[in-house]
Amino acid sequence: MKFGVVVFPGSNCDHDAFYAIGNILHKQVEFIWHQSQDLANCDAIILPGGFSYGDYLRTGAIARFSPVMKSVEKFAKSGGMVLGICNGFQTLCEAGLLPGAMMRNSGLRFICRHVNIRVEQTDTPFTNAARKGQVLKVPIAHSDGNYTADEATLAELEKDHQILFRYTTPDGSDDTAGNPNGSMHNIAGICNRERNVAGLMPHPERAMESALDSADGLVIFKSMVEALVGAAKATA
C-alpha cells in the first residue's frame, strides 16, 4: 500500500500530509512532483493544502493544468482513490473531478480555527471507519472555502449522498451556526458519484494527535487504509 502526496509549487501542507501518513499511520508515502506524469504506482493520491501557483487567477485554477493532473485524472477515472484537502479540494473542483466551486468566505477574511464537521455518509473509502453522524473536530485554514453550486448540482449531491461532511456545532445539532464560511448546504466535503474522489476544506492531517488538540482526523486516513486493504483482499 502506497500513498502519493502531490507537490505543486506553493503547496505548503504537503509535509504535513506526508508526516501524517508516514509517521503516524506508518504507511509508505512518497512525494510526487507536479511536472511528473508518473504516479509511482501509488494506490491513493493526496492533493495537499497550500497556495498552488500562488492561487493566482483563482484557487486551484492553474494547478489543474499542471502535468501531474493529467495522470491524476486518468487515475481517478479508472477508480483510483484521490483525496483533495483544502487547496487540493479547490483544485479537484477546478479540474472537474468534483462538482461545484469555491467562493471567498462569507466574512471575506482568512479563517483558521477548529470547526466541527458531521460525517454524513460512511459508504465511501474516506469515511468507512467513521460512524454516521459522528462529529469530528478538525481545523480549517482558508480564505476561499465557501462551497457554491447551482440548485441542480446541490440537489444531485443530496440525492446521490455525495455530501460526506457538513459543518455543525460540537453536538451536531445546528449546522448553520457551525458554518464558518457561508458554504451552501453547510458543505465541508463531498465525493464524486463513483465515490472514489473526495475533497474537504478542513485539514484532517492537522488533527492526527491529541497533543495538537484533536485526533479526529485519523478516522479519515484510517478509512482510506481500510479501503485499500479491502481492495487488495478483493483482488487477491
Partner 1 sequence: MATAATEIKVTPEIAAEHGVTAEEYARIQKILGRDPNITELGIFSVMWSEHCSYKSSKVHLKRLPTRGKLVVQGPGENAGVVDIGDGLVAAFKIESHNHPSYVEPFQGATTGVGGILRDIFTMGARPIAVLDSLRFGSITTEGDVDARFTNATKTDPVTIAANRRILDGVIRGVGHYGNCFGVPTVGGEVGFEPCYSQNPLVNALALGIARKEEIFLAKAKGIGNPVIYVGAKTGRDGIHGASLLASAEFTEESQQKRPNVQVGDPFVEKLLLEACLEAMRTGAVVAIQDMGAAGLTCSTMEMASRGGTGIEIDLAKVPQRETGMTPYEIMLSESQERMLLVAEKGREREVLDVFKKWGLDAVVVGTVTAGGLAVVKNHGAVAAQIPAHPLAEEGPVYNRPLAAPASRAESEKDWFRFAPEGSNLAENFKKLLASPTIASKRWITEQYDTSVRTNTLAGPGASDAAIVRIKESEKNGVMRGLALATDGNGRWCQLNPRVGAMHAVAEAARNVATSGARPIAATNCLNFGSPEKPEVMWQFSQAIDGIGEACTALGTPITGGNVSFYNETLGKSIYPTPVIGILGILDDASKALKVAFRNAGDIIILLDAADSSSGLDTRREFSSSEYSKTIGGIVAGEPPAIDLAAEKRLIDCLVALAAAGSVQSAHDISDGGLAVTLAESCFAANGLGASVAFNENSSAEYALFSERGARAIVSISPTNLAAVLATARQYNVNAIELGNVTREAALRIELKGHAAIDSPLDVVRDAWANSLERTLVTR
The length of the chain is 236
Total of chain residues touching partner 1, rule CB under 8 A: 31
Strand ranges in the chain using DSSP code E only, listed in sequence order: 2-7, 28-33, 44-47, 81-85, 101-103, 111-119, 135-142, 146-148, 163-168, 187-191, 197-200
Q: What x/- string results for residues 127 through 166 when contact with partner 1 is judged by CB under 8 A?
A: ------------x-x-x-----------------------
Q: Is 13 a catalytic site residue?
A: no
* Whole-angstrom distance, CA of residue 116 vs CA of residue 140: 10
Q: Has 194 been annotated as catalytic?
A: no
Given 42, 120, 191, 203, which residue is catalytic?
A: 203
Minimum distance of partner 1 from residue 234's CB (angstroms): 33
| Segment lying near partner 1 (by CB under 8 A), choices 51-59, 74-82, 153-161, 223-231 | 51-59
The answer to whether the CB of 99 falls within 8 A of the CB of 153 is yes
Asked if 51 is part of the footprint of partner 1 (rule: CB under 8 A), the reply reads: yes
Stretch that binds partner 1, among 96-104, 126-134, 194-202, 205-213 (CB under 8 A): 205-213
Residue 229 in the binding site for partner 1 (CB under 8 A):
no
Among 206, 219, 224, 227, binds partner 1 (CB under 8 A): 206
* Distance separating alpha carbons of residues 214 and 216, to the nearest angstrom: 5
Measured over the CA atoms of residue 225, residue 229, residue 235 and residue 236, the dihedral's sign is positive
Q: Which of 66, 124, 203, 220 binds partner 1 (CB under 8 A)?
A: 203
Residue 182 region by backbone torsions, left for phi larger than 0, else alpha for psi between -120 and 50, else beta: left
Residue 15 touches partner 1, criterion: CB under 8 A: yes
Q: Is 86 a catalytic residue?
A: yes
Q: What DSSP letter does each residue of 107-164 carry, written as one string?
A: TSS-EEEEEEEEE---SSTTTTTSPTT-EEEEEEEES--EEE--HHHHHHHHHTT-EE
The catalytic site residues sit at 86, 203, 205
Residues interacting with partner 1, by CB under 8 A?
Answer: 9-10, 12-13, 15-16, 19-20, 23, 49-51, 53-56, 109-113, 139, 141, 143, 203, 205-206, 208-209, 211-212
